[in-house]
Chains A and B, each alone.
Chain A
Amino acid sequence: MNLAPFRDPGIAAWLIAEIHAAQKHPWVLMETCGGQTHAILRLGLDQLLPRELELVHGPGCPVCVTPAGLIDQAIALAGCPGVLLATFADMMRVPGSAGTLFEARAAGAEVHMVYSALDALALARRMPKREVVFFAIGFETTAPGSALAVARARREGIRNFSLLMAHVLVPPAMRALLQSPDNRVQGYLAAGHACAILGWEPYEALAAEFGVPIVVTGFEAADLLRGILRLVQMLEAGEARVENAYERVVRREGNTRAQAQMDGVFEVCAREWRGIGLLPDSGLQLRPEWAAWDAQRKFGDLASPSAAASECISGEILQGLKKPPACPAWGGRCTPAHPLGAPMVSGEGACAAYYTYQYIPEEEGPARHALPEGLTR
């Protein structure tokens, strides 16, 4: 795929100029997806947008919101004789209440990094004497893959495979943010790839109920800028609709096959979001008829309840209430090398993204607005 048009600097510059022209009032926007946060900061978009347009970063980082207790479970399982824990590499450095999967591996636990749920299933197929547990993290983008892996396991009669379920759903998190009395966000960039699966239908009720515009947005420069432009235009016009600015990948009804795959295997449940708390109907668990492939039912709860003692203010970060540099530990006691919490560990967590990408040149660089107090290295 030639992404050149979506990365074209000329198109980006035109869109940025349009945003400056459209903006007459200050607005607070949130991008819900960690990948969008990462892209915005890597491209330096936040520096090119109007001063009065504030971007806050949302909870769309499944790594960041996986509860410490589940990570402890994963570590405990990995340490069981005969158990092999398969996980996306993203989770390796995230601290649970006492240590990370990386440290567990160094101490002798069998932890394998995989790129796909099917790779985890392949491990189970290749090693019938091992119990392979797949750490199933991710939003609705990733869940259909986990569902398919379990369906295949049943079809092939593979019993030494199970999921440690940690999947979460975006719309309930957005509802929780919108309901919060501290919420200042006026417009939302919805997560493009999550919407590719569930569609944008779930957001129509939110837009109507809370009177906020929501634009389904992708990840390239032109995608992000188009999303932001439409939000600004709708806010200036007092409109609160859902629009799609990622037309090449997202349809209103989403991918019905992927949804069917998920529905056949998973059901909605309450889920704890690290830093936010328990949100009803915000996670996925295996349906009772799939219990044989559910690691928690198979192995029991191996981890003791976690103490949440940490300076980490990830909850406020993930809800967009504070920016990372406002955290007293950020950049000092908490850095990617020694993170206190998940948003600093994950490659797309807001704290890590700020630490990695924020830059202020000594003398004049390209035209940019001044950053608020405290946003320096």
Chain B
Amino acid sequence: MCVAAPGKVVRCYEVDGLLMGEVDFGGVTREVCLAHVPEVQAGEQVMVHAGFALEIIAAAEVEQFYTLWQEVLAARPGGPPAAAPEAEDSP
């Protein structure tokens, strides 16, 4: 179940009291309901399912994962992966 895609909140706005946002999924943009993540800020990433943001994606966790694996793979022959994950401006 649960086809969900991560996207970056471009801007937040209210529609008759309902918190909505324009979310960029990597060149594809859609309006998403942010009511369940009211503290989200523009620029943050959210996990979106059926038009609703389920959760804010914790950037620190992503960073931590990447750093950890950089170290793990650096210790192997073949070295670490090539590109840094946060280099892109948009998702």
Say yes or no: is A203 at the interface (Cβ < 8 Å to chain B).
Answer: no
Q: A264 to nearest B CB, angstroms?
A: 12
- In Å, the complex CA distance between A142 and B2 comes to 8
- In Å, the complex CA distance between A194 and B47 comes to 12
User: With A139-B2, A255-B55 given, can you name 9 additional A-B contacts, CB distance below 8 Å?
Assistant: A1-B7, A1-B26, A14-B76, A62-B1, A116-B33, A141-B2, A145-B33, A196-B55, A255-B54
Interface residues of A in 39-85 (CB under 8 A from B): 60-63
Q: A14-B76, A60-B1, A194-B2 are in contact. Are A250 and B33 (CB under 8 A)?
A: no
Name the one of A34, A148, A249 contacting B55, with C-beta atoms under 8 angstroms: A249
Give the interface centre of B8, B37, B81 by most chain A CB atoms within 10 Å. Answer: B81
Question: For chain A, what secondary structure do more than half of its interface residues adopt (helix, strand, loop), or is it mixed?
Answer: helix
A residues within 8 Å of B by Cβ? 1-6, 8, 10-11, 14, 33-35, 60-63, 88, 115-119, 138-139, 141-142, 144-145, 148, 152, 155-156, 191-194, 196-197, 219, 222, 247-251, 255, 257-258, 261, 348
Across-interface contacts of B87 in A (CB, < 8 A): 2
| A-B residue pairs in contact (CB < 8 Å), sample of 27 | A1-B6, A1-B26, A1-B57, A1-B62, A2-B87, A4-B81, A5-B66, A5-B69, A14-B69, A33-B2, A116-B50, A138-B2, A139-B2, A141-B4, A144-B52, A152-B18, A193-B4, A193-B49, A194-B2, A219-B4, A222-B69, A248-B57, A249-B55, A249-B57, A250-B55, A255-B54, A258-B36
Across-interface contacts of A119 in B (CB, < 8 A): 51
Q: A4-B83, A117-B51, A118-B33 are in contact. Are A248 and B1 (CB under 8 A)?
A: no
Give the interface centre of A88, A156, A250 by most chain B CB atoms within 10 Å. Answer: A250
B residues within 8 Å of A by Cβ? 1-4, 6-8, 16-18, 26, 33, 35-38, 45, 47, 49-52, 54-55, 57-58, 61-62, 65-66, 69, 72-73, 76, 78, 81, 83, 85-88, 91
